[in-house]
Structure 1
């Protein structure tokens, strides 16, 4: 898998971030089962609860286009440190990804970590928990 391409797409998403309050831009890109890549950015709101993270923006774009499975996701934030998905984003990722889905956390195209989803969200509550 070409992690560099996914990271580049996450940076493209980051460029579009709307962050007038925090000034902290985040970008994400997901590779779907169909092979398409969707990117997203964080979008802030004066009512902080209405803010949307980059990961969820990318996922919701993909789902709205009929995609239902994430094969990999890349997240970029600060170039000085690794920016991991927040808890809500980890939960949303788990709705559309498998436990072994790669989650790439990048400072840049050369410095990145690759974790499995179950490493960053152990014991996830998923649709399997609802089936009795």
Structure 2
């Protein structure tokens, strides 16, 4: 096992926090966790879902799209919380997560460009 290579990039942390926040705001998941539909580990499962989604975006090529994320969310709700959603909310959450990824990746480009032009830093 290789040693950790340092802290994760700021954009990864930003994306992960955004995914955690968006999942916490999702009424279907919030009810499932509050009511313990996933058993005693319901809250841990919510965190696990966020980590799986973050890993999907950071490790897969091509990047997951709306359909992939929606299917992932629906499958997790069935497998982990025994909830078969048909309210369209998974699509809305998936759209937000994909949009967040695109925004964070745009910020990464801005940060990299700023780091490449460090003339302002020398003043």
* TM-score normalised over the length of structure 2: 0.28
Q: More strand per residue: 1 or 2?
A: 1
Which one has more relative contact order, counting CA pairs under 8 Å at least 6 apart?
2
The alignment's TM-score, normalised by the length of structure 1, stands at 0.27
Query: Which protein shows a greater Rg?
Result: 2
Higher helix proportion (structure 1 or 2): 2
